[in-house]
Amino acid sequence: MRTQYFYYLLIFFLILPFSLIAQNSKQKTTELNIYDKDGVVNSDEQGLFHYLISIKSKDTLFQRDGYKFIIDNRKGFNEYVNLEEVGQKFSMDTIKCLTISDLEKFSACELHNFLSSKKSIFLTLGPKNKNSSGERRKIYTRYPLIYKGTQKNIEMMENDF
């Protein structure tokens, strides 16, 4: 009886690490990290942040394909936090990111389906901070995005806030 109990425990402890590894790799495939060196984040009149990927359309009827996102910075019902409070600092070596050039390789429908299938999407903007010699420092922050859909011929203008 004891040996049978021992075998059950042994099997449990041998299988547990493999299931954790499988779960972790599955989570990584449902997460998307986008790196946009020249990305622009704007806010609406309430204070909610918006981000847009605008790609030259492959459809001759349209000039641009716009993929709209929000950065959920709601603190309460009508309260919003600033962009720095939403972001998470990280090292670029630890996370694999797709660039806008990578996303341009998809057709409009493929990219829409790809973005829709991801459970969590993060945006990393190019480093904006400059040191005393005017060079950009390698400080990266990623922001959680919520994909809101696609719209044709939409552009986002840069806004200093």
122-154 pLDDT tens trace: 999 877 655 555 555 577 889 999 999 999 887
95-118 pLDDT tens trace: 889 999 999 999 999 999 999 999
pTM for this model (two decimals)? 0.72
Q: Percentage of the chain with pLDDT > 90?
A: 42
13-22 pLDDT tens trace: 556 454 444 4
Total structural domains in the chain?
Answer: 1
Instruction: Quote the pLDDT of residue 125.
Output: 87
Tell me which residue of 34, 8, 30 sits closest to 98, measured CA to CA: 34
Is 13 contained in some domain? no
What distances in angstroms separate CA 49 from CA 121, 143, 144, one per listed residue?
15, 11, 11
The average pLDDT across 45-67 equals 91
Is 83 contained in some domain? yes
Instruction: Quote the pLDDT of residue 5.
Output: 58
Is 85 contained in some domain? yes
Is 21 contained in some domain? no
Is 82 contained in some domain? yes
Give the model's confidence band at 157: pLDDT under 50 very low, under 70 low, under 90 confident, else very high: low
Instruction: Quote the pLDDT of residue 20.
Output: 43
Return the bridge partners of 145, or none.
Answer: 121
Q: Residue 39's domain spans which residues?
A: 31-152
Is 48 contained in some domain? yes
Return the bridge partners of 98, or none.
Answer: 34
Is 55 contained in some domain? yes
Q: DSSP string covering 72-111, please?
A: --B-SSS-B--HHHH-EEE-GGGS--EEHHHHHTS-HHHH
- Distance, in Å, from the CA atom of 121 to the CA atom of 126, rounded to the nearest integer, reads 17
